[in-house]
Chains A and B, each alone.
Chain A
Amino acid sequence: MQIGNREIRVPAVSPLTPEAVLAARRRLLTMHFEAGVGHIGGNLSSIDAMLVAFHEKLREQDVFLLSKGHSAGALYIALWSSGRLPEAELLTFHKDGTLLAGHPPASGVAQIPFATGSLGHGLSLAAGTALGMRFNGSDGRVLCLTSDGEWQEGSTWEAFIFACHQRLENLTVLVDHNGLQGFGSTDDVASMAPLWEKLQGFDADVHAIDGHDLAALRGAMDARSDRPQVFVMRTVKGKGVSFLENRMESHYLPLNEAQFALAMAEQNRA
């Protein structure tokens, strides 16, 4: 695969060990701290799913679409952790001339098919990609990770209606249901609680799982159906960093030096 102008050899499957998860979380925190970048909470709530996907589940013909583009850091780390992105690129995160912008870039990283960041686009792109695979006779699958707040976007519902109507059996949707959005909790801002019950009225298989349970994530990504599948992942915003967990500040604010030291110490104890 191509990263910028470099060719990267990608291992087919690299089993995700607890040590690899810990290393990825540490690298994520370090990358964000060194770049002075926030959005850590939503990265920590979704990184486990991305690690499972890129380490173990995504084949050459599959496509992963990060609809919640503000978790780009976790995506870059999952690519790095699974051998798809070199360390040298991570060091450029958020800097002038980087491939790794604050939201997934439009070009330059082969595993990132679309620039996302404006919420409500990813599920439609995923549906179009899945439909294209069907027309091509491919056995490729599409994995789309959305946020929970993103289901307030009308276009996400347009996409879900379409995907269900087309019975896109090669589409799996993961919802990072951490319960917090930009300026409040999802329950306070525009409650759809429980989200999975709202989704169950459609022609899709809908499940709720623990989004930090690796076995549950593996099972979700292995599951097959004759229609779209949705896994609402109950997650914790800021997971693994005590002072970030379930805190709205973690949506935006970067870590200061003391917070970074504390966060890393907590990872070491994990």
Chain B
Amino acid sequence: MRTQFCDALVARSTREKLLFLTGDLGFMALEPLQRAMRARFINAGVAEQNMVSVAAGLAGQGFEAWAYSIAPFCYARPFEQIRNDVCFHKLPVKLVGNGGGYGYGVMGPTHHAIEDYGVLLCLPNLSVFVPAFDEDVPAIVQRAGDAPHATYLRLGRGEKPPGHVIPDYAPWRQLTEGAGSVVVAVGPLAGTCIASFESMPSERRPNLWVLSELPVAENPPPPTLLTQLAQAPGLVVVEEHVRRGGVGPELLAWLTERRYPLRAYAHAHAQAHHYARYGSQTYLRAQSGLDPTSIVAMAQAQPASGT
């Protein structure tokens, strides 16, 4: 998604109030943006705490300041700067974390971001964007950029099945239809489920929804999903994020508080910050039960309606 992100910001860079900061990352990816923005593209160096506070200072002077790094360096290292300097002052700083979830795979757990949006959504005046597909990125850059408050954009790897037509971007989109469970996937994991779900018979095929904007409280499930849920065997939430602070508990609370009946609930989530052995994003997802086979099994384990 970095290419799409770069292209979208290049298109937006005609706005003179837009400034871009990077924590010394973006080699062989962000050069077009650097060329387009010239002095307004600032390599803030390997100093993320400073980068975020500088972005706050710039936002205080009326700028739309984007701050980019590998995901954990963008929210974990400078957390207090995000909290105190950005969020407390409702400043429109746009944080961008590349490689959300286990995106950096075999690079190891220091580079993973599996508690990012849970941590950040504890803060006021901040919303989160998790694009699922490369095609989502331009619309999300516009929505994040136009937001009057802080945003965090979790960039990952778009995993659209070849030849599949994706609906136009919206915070909630339905990707497969059937009479099976309602599966809510956060971000790119949705794309990994499509092919497996489509191969299932329609009476067991899940209604797969992808969610790309958080928190749930500000992006409630659409009426169609709620209607499906009333008939479905159950709800499965799938996310490359730890359970605590994840969409699963938040969505469950949202539904329970409104007395929506659930026949069953299951949650596939990141299980560990590191395992005994390292591997790719696909390998680590499988370790956590976030591979398509495990997700299908989880959905099928929910007894069909009426049984």
Contact = CB atoms under 8 A, between A and B. Distances in A.
B85 A161 contact: no
Interface stretch (A18-26, A52-60, A152-160, A233-241): A152-160
A125 B40 contact: no
A115 B62 CA distance: 18
Interface in B53-75: 53-63, 65
Contacts of A106: 88-89
B88 A129 contact: no
Interface residues of A, number: 28
A216 to B, nearest CB: 28
A145 interface: no
Contact of A107 (B50, B54, B89): B89
A134 B62 CA distance: 12
A136 B53 CA distance: 18
Interface in A136-172: 136, 154-155, 158-159, 161-162, 165
A127 B54 contact: yes
A158 B51 CA distance: 9
Contacts of B84: 115-116, 118, 121
* Chain B interface, >50% SS class: helix
A93 B84 CA distance: 21
A126 interface: yes
Given A128-B54, A128-B56, A159-B53, A135 B81 contact: no
A125 B82 CA distance: 12
Highest count of chain B CB atoms <10 Å: which of A106, A124, A131, A154: A124
A158 B49 CA distance: 8
B32 interface: no
Interface in B143-188: none
A150 to B, nearest CB: 13
B19 interface: yes
Nearest to B55: A128
A114 B58 contact: no
A159 B62 CA distance: 20
Contacts of B31: none
24 contacts: A113-B60, A114-B60, A115-B88, A118-B80, A118-B84, A121-B53, A124-B50, A124-B52, A124-B56, A124-B81, A126-B57, A127-B50, A127-B53, A127-B57, A128-B56, A128-B59, A129-B60, A130-B57, A131-B57, A135-B58, A158-B45, A158-B50, A161-B50, A162-B47
Given A124-B81, A128-B53, A129-B57, 4 more contacts: A114-B56, A128-B58, A155-B50, A161-B50
A-B CB proximity, top 3 nearest = A128-B57, A132-B61, A124-B53
